[in-house]
Chains A and B, each alone.
Chain A
Amino acid sequence: MPDTSSSKPRIEHYVAPLEETPLAAIDSVKTEGKPSNLWIDAWHDLRRRPMFWISSALILIIVFVALFPGLFTNESPNEGCQLANSNGAPVPGHPLGFTRQGCDVFARIVYGAGTSLSVGIIVTILVFTLGVLFGAFAGYYGGWVDGVLSRVGDIFFSIPYILAAVVIMSVLANYRSVWVISLAIGVFAWPATARVLRSEILRVKNSDFVTAATAIGVSRFKILWAHVVPNSIAPVIVIATISLAGAIVAEATLSFLGVGLPSTFMSWGNDIAQAQTTLRTAPQVLIYPSIALSLTVFSFIMLGEVVRDALDPKARAQR
């Protein structure tokens, strides 16, 4: 025990004489078993949980469908639609029937996966980048940097991001594309991520390994990105997974409201909006894309929840 009666605890550094003991022997403090960290622990927890495997499998299937839609259907989602088939019942080769325009419902769902997923991924990258930059600098540097960055975050946080996206998309009515809609959603969705990272960094930045890095002369900037951020990023990754689901819902909601993607795009939100007029007579046209949308959102939320539980010992205790 170090002497605790003095005002500062004295830390004794033992430096072994080099010629007597090889350094490797001193450095190796290997106790029994493999080294463990947060991610390895989480992985051990995750691989025992069926929910993790179910959600991962669902996501893999959705990604595969989005990447190679041609493998899943021979029909074209937009061309060769026969108005004679309008809202038609399923026939062989068209397992889910036809939309109001006489297009194949199944083909439209298959091709819509790409749109939803691209919006989700672009928004997530945007939210992750902005959130990490703002959160990291605000949390680590503190003071006026924190004051300015956090206030900017508060302003963006004060506008519910779907409402903001509605305004942006109405303003940019002539420029609608996957990129524009992703930007419209992402620009107002990042403050939540920044807040989480900021509070996590506040917790981490006084750790011993940060003091150690400072002591051996690592620059503050490098400590932030090489040591502090990697040790604070876990909850942000969980949020990113869940925000991917949120972005997919946001795109569908905007398309449903009519300020999303133009109808030439394959988008589940568009299809649901178009099918609502015939809800009474042809509910199946509305139900199938709704199921696809909900299932996609469900897989990402489920994955996020499982990973959150695995990373958070407190949540694990609550199970």
Chain B
Amino acid sequence: MLWYTGKRLLQIIPVLLGATFLIYFMVFAMPGDPIAALYGDRPPAPGVIDQIRDQYHLNDPFIVQYFYYLIGIFQGDFGVTYSGQPVTEVLARTFPVTIRLAILAIFFEMVAGILVGLISGLRKGGIFDATGLAVSLVLISLPIFVLGFVAQYFLAIQWGWFSPTVGGDPGFVDLILPAIVLATISFAQIVRLTRSSVIETQSLDFVRTAYSKGLTRRRVVPVHILRNSLIPVVTYLGTDFGTLLVGATVTEGIFNVPGVGRTLYQAVLKGEGPTVVSFVTVMVLLYLVVNLLIDLLYAVLDPRIRYA
């Protein structure tokens, strides 16, 4: 396990460097002179320009600039937003909200998705299964902002079950509607994944053994079938986290949830390029770390991975 962890940690380094390099390159390629943009119509004295260029290492070659940027990231310096707040400060304020939203969404999609997927898989070809497959196909096809608006219009505005916007400092209860919307697309994927995994596991030898030694269905289904069907679902959570990040940006924008996603959404809407880049960098780093953790968790669950 230690060896595997070490190998996996080493593997993430080139990806980390590459990802930050790509993001930095995209920003570097941005047309226009950042100093000129700072001043507008009245250019400052040439000496001032030189001083600023020196201060921000703008005279250095691209690769050196990237190096400074990388050091900044490792020191927790993600730059400042347009209004002059350090990105880290904004993160400290907005992050807990997004974490709450994400936990709630992951909870909904896992519980509901695994339950529906399990029943569908066990009753393959039945009415429940057919309905589940059809509904999940429709849900996968709905872009998250469409789903968000439909839910907001019908559940909140028309029927008044929820508040249409969140705002303020929301607790778990306020976040139920956005979390359901955020969970929906992954829910459909989890249903399909669990279903096919259950069908596959069901026909394996150890399940037959379990039945033939006299265990009841109530014991075989949760202990033998479900547990062994969950491994692909756990790995899916890694890819899903990317969807969740993008989804959070849209959902938090629609429901006015004061999280990281809404901050990114508003920065994008206002065209605040540097802020967008800072937040995307943070999200990508987060995505990489979460995927690393899930890979490690996966190795704990399945010994075959560790020794492969």
Q: Which B residues touch A298, using CB under 8 A? A: 137-138, 141
A163 interface hit (Cβ, 8 Å) = yes
* Any A CB within 8 A of the CB of B308: no
Whether the pair A257, B265 counts as a contact (CB closer than 8 A) is yes
Residue of A at shortest CB range from B145?
Answer: A256
Closest chain-A Cβ to B7's Cβ sits at a distance in Å of 14
Q: How far is the CB of B224 from chain A (nearest CB, A)?
A: 19
**B135 within 8 Å of A by Cβ?**
no
Q: Output the nearest chain B residue to A289 by Cβ-Cβ distance.
A: B146
A158-B18, A167-B280, A279-B157 known; A293 vs B246 contact (CB < 8 Å): no
A154 at the interface (CB under 8 A from B): yes
Q: Could you say which of A163, A297, A298, A305 has the most chain B C-beta atoms within 10 Å of its C-beta?
A: A163
Which chain A positions have C-beta within 8 A of B276?
A: 166-167, 170
* Minimal beta-carbon separation of A154 from chain B (angstroms): 5
Q: A99 in the interface, Cβ–Cβ < 8 Å? A: no
Complex interface residues of chain B between 234 and 266 (CB less than 8 A to chain A): 242-243, 245-246, 249-250, 253-254, 264-265
Please measure, in the bound complex, the distance between the C-alpha atom of A252 and the C-alpha atom of B157, giving whole angstroms: 24
Q: Give Cα A267–Cα B292 distance, bound, in whole angstroms.
A: 38
Distance, CA A8 to CA B92, complexed state (A): 66
User: If the complex has contacts A163-B246, A252-B143, are A171 and B30 also in contact, measured as CB distance less than 8 A?
Assistant: yes
Within 8 A of B (CB), among A84-120: none
Within 8 A of A (CB), among B98-139: 124-125, 137-138
Determine whether B27 belongs to the interface, using a CB cutoff of 8 Å to chain A.
yes
Tell me if A168 counts as interface (CB < 8 A to partner B).
Answer: yes
B137 x A305 contact (CB < 8 A): yes
| Least Cβ–Cβ distance between A101 and chain B, in angstroms | 19
Tell which of B56-64, B67-75, B166-174, B281-289 binds the partner: B281-289
Q: How far is the CB of A305 from chain B (nearest CB, A)?
A: 7
Tell yes or no: B296 within 8 A of A by CB: no
Q: Does residue B36 face the partner (Cβ distance < 8 Å to A)?
A: no
Scan A156-173; emit 1 where CB is below 8 A from any B CB, else 0: 101110111011101101
Q: Which chain B residues border A294 with CB–CB below 8 Å?
A: 141-143, 146
Size bracket, chain B contacts: 35 or more
CB neighbours (8 Å) of A297 from chain B are 141-143
Q: Is the CB of B149 within 8 A of A286?
A: yes
Contact of A276 with B149 at beta-carbon distance under 8 Å, contacts A167-B26, A256-B250 already known? yes
Q: Chain B contacts of A168 at CB under 8 A?
A: 26
Main secondary structure on A side of the interface with B: helix
Which chain A positions have C-beta within 8 A of B125?
Answer: 319
Whether, in the assembled complex, B140 has its beta carbon less than 8 Å from a beta carbon of chain A, the answer is: yes
Chain B: CB-nearest residue to A184:
B26
In the complex with contacts A166-B280, A245-B141, A253-B145, A158-B288 CB distance below 8 A: yes
Q: Is the CB of B19 within 8 A of A290?
A: no
A158 touches B15 (CB 8 A): yes
A contact residues, range: 35 or more
> Across the interface, do B246 and A160 meet the contact criterion of CB distance under 8 Å?
yes
B299 at the interface (CB under 8 A from A): no
A74 CB–B CB distance under 8 Å: no
Query: A257 touching B249 by the CB < 8 A rule?
Result: yes
Q: Mark A211-224, 1 if CB is under 8 A from B, else 0.
A: 00000000000000
Please state if B26 and A279 are interface contacts (CB–CB under 8 Å).
no
Known A167-B280, A293-B146: A159·B22 in contact at CB below 8 Å? yes
A262 at interface, CB cutoff 8 A:
no
Given contacts A171-B29, A257-B249, contact A163 B283 (CB under 8 A): yes
Assess whether B273 is in contact with A173, with CB atoms less than 8 Å apart: yes
Query: Within 8 Å of chain B (Cβ to Cβ): is A318?
Result: yes
Q: Which residues of chain A come closer than 8 Å to B199, judged between CB atoms?
A: 318
Contacts of B245 in A (CB 8 A): 160, 163
A280 at the interface (CB under 8 A from B): yes
Binary contact track A271-292/B, C-beta < 8 Å → 1, others 0: 0100010011001001100100
Question: Residue A259 contacts which of B27, B152, B268, B277 (CB distance < 8 angstroms)?
Answer: B268
Which of A162, A171, A249, A287 contacts B26, CB < 8 Å? Answer: A171
7 A-B pairs whose Cβ atoms sit less than 8 Å apart in the complex: A163-B284, A166-B268, A252-B145, A272-B149, A297-B141, A297-B143, A319-B124
List 11 additional contacts besides A160-B245, A301-B141; criterion CB under 8 Å.
A158-B284, A160-B242, A164-B280, A171-B27, A257-B250, A257-B268, A279-B149, A279-B157, A286-B149, A293-B146, A294-B143
Q: Which 4 residue pairs are nearest across A and B when measured between Cβ atoms?
A: A155-B18, A160-B242, A298-B141, A290-B146
